[in-house]
A = this chain, B = another copy of it.
Amino acid sequence: MILTKSSKDLYAEYTDRMQKIADVKYSAAVLQWDQETYLPAKGAEFRGRQLATLSEIAHQWLIEPSLGQLLQDLNGRGDLQEDERRNVELSLEDYEKQKKFSAAFIRRLSEATSHSFHSWLQARSANSFALFQDDLQQLVQLKKEEAELAGYENHPYNALLDQYEKGATVTLLDKVFAEVRIPLKDLLDKIANRPTIDDSFLRGDFPRQPQWDFGMELIKQLGFDFKAGRQDLSEHPFTTSFNSFDVRITTRVDEHDFNHMTWSCIHETGHGLYEQGLPPVYYGLPLGEYASLSIHESQSRLWENNVGRSLNWWKSVYPRLQAIFPSQLKAISLQQFYQGINKVAPSLIRTEADEVSYHFHVMIRYQLEKKLLDGSLAVVDIPAWWNESYKTWLGVTVPDDKKGCLQDVHWSHGSFGYFPTYSLGSFYAAQMFSAAEDQLPGLHESIGEGQTAPLLAWLRQNIHRHGRRLTSEELCLQATGKTLEIKYFLDYLFDKYKNIYKF
């Protein structure tokens, strides 16, 4: 007699296994968070192997044939709830992807990234790409192997893009960047013909502690729950999450540049609000995870730019800021401040870029990664290629590696294919914000009073609670009535800058 297990029992077994995998993955995330916030220098080596062991366990559990069997057995069963069916379907998809990578490969990758994160830190501190080059070379090699193992059509980079943004390809991104490149260049030219905006007041003396305190105030005001998360300092701001009740954001403070911290706080808060809004009941399951990286980025960009760089929102926040920094800002009107924080000026550092030139930063990285992957650019040639591209597209001269190709942490993490989601995120953000404005009649007024709770509620309802149920495009369609249209982003930018630069 063969006893077939009920769907209920099998689903419980599936949940249990996935949640234990999540425990290990999120434990690794805690170690990574610690690595970038508090780890003492000499601790890096053993931390590397600790992380590698955790990655290996999570990966081994994820690719166990018995899990594959369980998922196949469960997949499509008629007596599962809709959510359960979707979880199983997505987990099976993950399983099929992950089982292409051996445990040994995952360990090598994990050890290599731990190692190269530290050589990146050293290279940055010594301002010398040469110190990072060997580790980066090894990572690129591993990423090529990864692409081969994962499989792809047309271009090896497609295999990596797909990991961050399901369905993204070189063909698609070439098209998207071609579509925005001309109008954005046109906008940059229009702005270049107008008088320069004076934003020197933003680079006065802004002491550390009040900046930090103001940032914490904003984060709270925007709805981040400090009982379910925290903010710390790190070399490069980031967000990580160990579950919806423990979301960590980081920032850095520059005492001579007010721009630095405030918008990175708002940006990471956007990510953090998304993580805090994912349904905890699906801990460890796909429906408890974020939809995609571009959707994640849409949340950070929406808060950073559509809210955090709007005149409307600053109407309510600016008096408070002036009260904190009276000597620096009392003589600066709201309008001057608004223009200053939106000054467009092609420059060297991506994270400090204005909303227009930003996408050239992304495009350059996208093209560079594509070339690294198909072998048309050697690692040793990165600085020269980088510097030339910045000259070509942004008209700026890169003085050194720290302000050039060493500025981002991503490669040291092994994240290749990640950058394009930043641009996609901005494009989605503009479309979502426009939809929220259409759907919520009093939205503009409430934001003008510093009340962003209705906007957050709309995002919770239309984006956050769905977890990974829908793809980026399905989610966009459901929330805004249309799949992605770059027009919303371009309209938003042109309207904004027409007003600011009066062309």
Contact = CB atoms under 8 A, between A and B. Distances in A.
A54 B226 CA distance: 26
10 contacts: A27-B50, A30-B34, A40-B227, A40-B246, A42-B225, A42-B227, A43-B228, A43-B243, A43-B246, A57-B57
B45 A24 contact: no
A44 B40 CA distance: 25
Nearest to A20: B53
A290 interface: no
A283 B50 CA distance: 12
A189 to B, nearest CB: 47
A246 B39 contact: yes
A273 to B, nearest CB: 15
Classify chain A's interface size.
35 or more
A46 B227 contact: no
B57 A245 contact: no
Nearest to A57: B57
Top 7 A-B pairs ranked by shortest CB distance?
Answer: A43-B246, A23-B53, A42-B245, A46-B243, A42-B228, A23-B50, A41-B227
A31 interface: yes
B31 A27 contact: yes
A229 interface: yes
Nearest to A29: B50
A246 B23 CA distance: 23
A242 interface: yes
A229 B226 CA distance: 27
A26 interface: yes
A53 B24 contact: yes
Interface in A8-34: 19-20, 23-24, 26-28, 30-31, 34
A245 B54 contact: no
A54 B40 contact: no
A436 B40 CA distance: 31
A423 B53 CA distance: 38
A388 interface: no
Count the copies.
2
Report whether over half of chain A's contact residues are helix, strand or loop; otherwise say mixed.
helix
A21 to B, nearest CB: 9
Interface string A228-245: 111010000000001101
Interface in A401-421: none
Contacts of A40: 226-230, 245-246
Contacts of A350: none
Interface string A272-299: 0000000010010000000000000000
A175 B224 CA distance: 57
A118 to B, nearest CB: 12
Contact of A26 (B24, B28, B50, B232): B50
Interface in A206-256: 225-230, 232, 242-243, 245-246
Interface in A39-81: 39-43, 45-47, 49-50, 52-54, 57
A43 B226 contact: no
A246 B30 contact: no
A335 B19 CA distance: 60
| Interface core residue of A19, A27, A232 (most chain B CB under 10 Å) | A27
Nearest to A283: B46
A152 interface: no
A291 B428 CA distance: 59
| Interface core residue of A39, A45, A46, A229 (most chain B CB under 10 Å) | A46
A43 B30 CA distance: 12
A503 interface: no
A14 to B, nearest CB: 16
B43 A242 contact: yes
A30 B225 CA distance: 24
Nearest to A56: B20
Contacts of A46: 26, 242-243, 245-246, 280, 283
A54 to B, nearest CB: 6
